Structure 1
Amino acid sequence: MAYAHTTRIAHNGLGDRMAALVASVKQSLAQRRVYRQTVRELNSLTTRELSDLGIHRSMITRVAMEAAYGN
Structure 2
Amino acid sequence: MAEVQRKSLLTCPACRHQASETMPTTACQFFYECPGCHAVLSPKAGDCCVFCSYGTVPCPPIQEQKPCCGRAG
Q: TM-score band (shorter)?
A: under 0.3
- TM-score of the superposition, structure 1-length normalised? 0.24
Point out the structure with max Rg over C-alpha: 1
Determine which structure has greater relative contact order: mean sequence separation of CA pairs < 8 Å that are 6+ residues apart, divided by chain length: 1
More helix by share: 1
- TM-score of the superposition, structure 2-length normalised? 0.24
More strand by share: 2
